[in-house]
Amino acid sequence: MTQAGGDNIAETPGTLARTAVERSHLYRFLARVFGEEVSAEFLRRIKEAPFQQSLVAAAVELDGDFMHRPEEALLEELAVEYARLFLGPGKHISPHASVHQGPDGGSLWGPPTIEVKRFIEAAGFEYKAEFHGLPDHISVALEFMAEIAAREARAWRREDFAKALNCLRYEKEFIGKHVAGWAAVFCAKVKDEAELSFYREMAGLTAAFLASEQPEIARRKRIAAGH
């Protein structure tokens, strides 16, 4: 992929489709990280060599205990960390936009919650039947971006540049208005509070990825608009 600002380097629709798929996969992975406790299946997937190589390429450094600690013990530690960081009881880091964006610390079901809900529904998406959380949870935002990026990929494959541009407009607005600001604060708090390398590194990866997405989406928009 060319760097931001390298629009003069020609990219084919196929290349743009592949990178959209990669972005979609990363969004979906991060949504899973913050959406619930790490399961045995998810942990085994993360430990697979190809996945580890991808994490290393993204400058993610999990400590030695993560790879070599017995699975049962590690799953228990990750579950305790997840609950301590994001659920409570007691002081924890809320993974909801309204808490970070509202006045005086905000509260659940604040105006940002309604705005995110309306935006996602206006884009033509419905919540999964098994989902019972709040619409402004960070995992919902990341899952939404995964779905839009997947739609973008399909549009590039069909060389439907108008559709790709439309997807990218949704991506730009959603990241800019509903994710970037509060997610950066959330990730910084997780990095400070996490005791295990897994959540500390995942927060760092999320923050870096979201920061890179804004110029990347703008660049892709220019390419789509130029067709």
pLDDT, averaged across the chain: 87
| Per-residue model confidence (pLDDT) at position 122 | 79
Task: Identify which of 153, 115, 152 has the alpha carbon closest to the alpha carbon of residue 135.
Answer: 115
Q: Which residue did the predictor score with more confidence, 6 or 145? A: 145
| Per-residue model confidence (pLDDT) at position 63 | 83
Least confident of 63-77, 90-104, 171-185: 90-104
pTM score, two decimals?
0.88
Q: What is the mean pLDDT of residues 198-211?
A: 95
| Per-residue model confidence (pLDDT) at position 120 | 82
In this predicted structure, the answer to whether residue 42 has a pLDDT above a threshold of 90 is: yes
In this predicted structure, the answer to whether residue 6 has a pLDDT above a threshold of 60 is: no
| Per-residue model confidence (pLDDT) at position 1 | 30
In this predicted structure, the answer to whether residue 3 has a pLDDT above a threshold of 80 is: no
Domains present along the chain, CATH in parentheses: 13-225 (1.10.3480.10)
In this predicted structure, the answer to whether residue 39 has a pLDDT above a threshold of 50 is: yes
